[in-house]
Amino acid sequence: MTGQLLERVRHEKPLIHHITNQVTINDCANATLCIGALPVMTHAVDEVEEMAAASNALVINIGTPTPDQIDAMVAAGKKANRLNIPVILDPVGLGATKLRTDTIKRLLDNVHVSVIKGNAGEISILAGQGGTVKGVESIGQYDNIEASCRDAAKIYACTVVVTGAADIIADSSRTLRVGNGDAMMGRVVGTGCMAASILGCFAAVENDHVQSSAAAMACFGIAGQLAAKRDDVKGPGTFKATLMDELYNLDTASIEQYLNIEEVVTI
């Protein structure tokens, strides 16, 4: 399934419209292209509805929010909803400032999102269970994060992905755990944002967003594992460049060898 979905991304080359932050915008564009889809990054209020309509998924990331950009996110999200184009939301830094809290509330009140992806702190806050986010980093221990992931999925009627050493993916009825990835992925800025881009690529080709999200996180994680093993990777700098190479070179054989997706049984 995961390998087939990757092949569909490469065959269909979905256009992934991003309205995203200034820090990792180039990383997201490259990760999208390397996995086999097409990125476009634009946030001008005057064109986002037209661009969203031409796209196969919309990724909204609030990493560096400005008033105009937030208006553009709402306009593009509403247009995507009218056309049944999946919307991925990355609530970067939710809880760190009032602007981020207000922005996520406005987005979720106005736009139906298909997938929300965040770190443990961000998702725990969304689930109403509180959390600490320092800048964009999740701080603290979240022992009930699988339950928080499910709660957030029920509240917002969507699929929720929590990233970490293992990624948790839930909707109202299923929970999956993806064990792929490497600790080096937490040592470079941008892997969380890139994960949202890859989630968009897979959501564009598969309507079951628990399946598409599990495949996306597994592929991204396997690329990270392969990059971390390479002799020419000496630290975060070479790791990040090599991660792009491994996304580009990822094949079915590596997916079959490394795939680590399990269903979490809940009572």
Ligand X SMILES: Cc1ncsc1CCOP(=O)(O)O
Residues from 184 through 213 that contact ligand X (CB under 6 A): 189-193
Q: Which residue is nearest to Mg ion (CB)?
A: 192
For Mg ion, how many residues bind (rule: CB under 5 A)? 1
Residues from 102 through 131 that contact ligand X (CB under 6 A): none
Using the minimum distance from each CB to ligand ADP, give the nearer residue, 21 or 55. Answer: 21
User: Contact at 8 Å (CB) between 198 and 31?
Assistant: yes
73 carries a ligand binding annotation: no
135 carries a ligand binding annotation: no
Phi and psi angles of residue 50, each rounded to the nearest 5 degrees, phi first: -65, -40
CB of 92 to ligand ADP, least distance (A): 7
Binding site for ligand ADP (CB under 6 A): 119, 138, 163-165, 167, 181-183, 185-186, 191-192, 195, 217, 220-221
Using the minimum distance from each CB to ligand X, give the nearer residue, 64 or 132. Answer: 64
- Residue 185 partner contact from ligand X, ligand ADP, Mg ion, none using kind-dependent CB cut-offs of 5 to 8 Å: ligand ADP
Q: Which of 7, 10, 13, 23 binds ligand X (CB under 6 A)?
A: 23
CB of 49 to ligand ADP, least distance (A): 28
154 carries a ligand binding annotation: no
| Residues making contact with ligand X (CB under 6 A) | 21, 23-24, 63-64, 92, 136, 189-193
Question: Which residues bind to Mg ion, rule: CB under 5 A?
Answer: 192
